[in-house]
């Protein structure tokens, strides 16, 4: 069975502070990991996926197979980063398994 | 490039009724997946269609059914609606079955009274 755990429902940080959104997963094979973001009144959209190894909007995520984690990080939070963030994985089939999401709130 | 569209945006039904939700996939995409997102939860996979055939199903009862048409648009049908079916229903499309990035529509919010 595949499972994604996001332990924090809400993460509140000050503007300019570092951000780390936690994601742990359970999957017996070799998963593909994603971070999706949903800004207020917008649709769910892909932020990044681990195989592309890109940095999008200053965010990065490293797949740690030993710890089965895929934490999302950004060195300096911006107000426009406030949103709902979902970690997701896909295995051999293309269905996505999502975590319950973490709301990031960036305050001045 | 046209993104994923869904209709209607929201609707209200009563318990026991049937509902049909529609999705138009992004241009060039032949795979459509449906997800249910209950309040405060992440999206849950319902099923996927690839080239008009069901290509995987999540843990949902048979009263959740779907179709994909030759133009790759799709329908989600739910029979005998229950109160717990109240949720946001998301459609996502991608270019082919596999691990390609899925692009999501805005969702249809269903309320069952």
Residue A106 has pLDDT above 80, yes or no: yes
| pLDDT average, residue stretch A3-10 | 96
Residue A75: DSSP 8-state: S
Question: For A13-57, what is each residue's pLDDT tens digit?
Answer: 999 999 999 999 999 888 889 999 999 999 999 999 887 777 789
| pLDDT average, residue stretch A65-72 | 93
Rounded to 5°, angle at Cα B70 from B67 and B72: 65
Residue A104 has pLDDT above 60, yes or no: yes
Chain B contact present for A56, CB below 8 A: no
Question: For B37-66, what is each residue's pLDDT tens digit?
Answer: 999 899 999 999 998 999 899 999 999 999
With CA atoms as reference, the chain A residue closest to B47 would be: A95
Give the span between the Cα atoms of B37 and B16, in whole angstroms.
20
Chain A contact present for B35, CB below 8 A: yes
| pLDDT average, residue stretch B23-45 | 93
Task: Please name which of A28, A65, A63, A59 lies closest in space to residue A46, comparing C-alpha atoms.
Answer: A59
Q: How confident is the model at residue B97 (pLDDT cuts 50, 70, 90)?
A: low
**Chain B hits for A45, Cβ within 8 Å:** 103-104
Structure-token pair, residue B28: 């060039």
- Mean pLDDT (chain B) is 93
Chain B contact present for A84, CB below 8 A: no
Give the span between the Cα atoms of B40 and A6, in whole angstroms.
13
Q: What pLDDT score does B1 carry?
A: 55
Chain B contact present for A52, CB below 8 A: no
**Which of A42, A88, A94 is most worth mutating to test chain B (most B CB atoms within 10 A of its CB)?**
A94
Q: How many CB atoms lie within 10 A of CB B82?
A: 12
Q: How many CB atoms lie within 10 A of CB A62?
A: 12
- Structure-model confidence comparison of residues A3 and A30, the more confident one: A3
Structure-token pair, residue B103: 């692009």
């Amino acid at each position: 069975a595949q499972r994604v755990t996001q332990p924090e429902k809400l993460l509140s940080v000050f503007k300019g502070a570092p951000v780390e959104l936690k994601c742990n997963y359970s999957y017996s094979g070799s998963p593909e990991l994603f971070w999706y973001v949903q800004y207020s009144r917008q649709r769910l959209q892909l932020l990044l996926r681990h195989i592309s190894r890109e940095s999008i909007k200053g965010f990065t995520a490293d797949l740690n197979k030993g710890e089965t984690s895929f934490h999302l990080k950004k060195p300096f939070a911006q107000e426009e980063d406030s949103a709902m963030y979902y970690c997701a994985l896909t295995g051999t089939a293309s269905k996505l398994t999502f975590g319950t999401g973490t709301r990031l709130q960036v305050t001045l | 490039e046209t993104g994923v569209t869904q209709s209607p945006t929201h609707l209200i039904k009563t318990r026991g009724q049937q509902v049909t939700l529609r999705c138009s996939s992004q241009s060039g995409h032949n795979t459509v997946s449906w997800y249910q997102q209950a309040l405060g939860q992440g999206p849950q996979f319902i099923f996927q269609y690839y080239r008009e055939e069901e290509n995987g199903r999540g843990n949902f009862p048979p009263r959740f059914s779907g179709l994909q048409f030759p133009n790759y648009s799709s329908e989600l049908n739910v029979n005998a609606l229950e109160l717990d079916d109240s949720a946001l229903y998301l459609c996502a499309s991608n270019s082919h079955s596999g691990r390609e990035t899925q692009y999501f529509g805005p969702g249809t919010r269903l309320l069952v009274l």
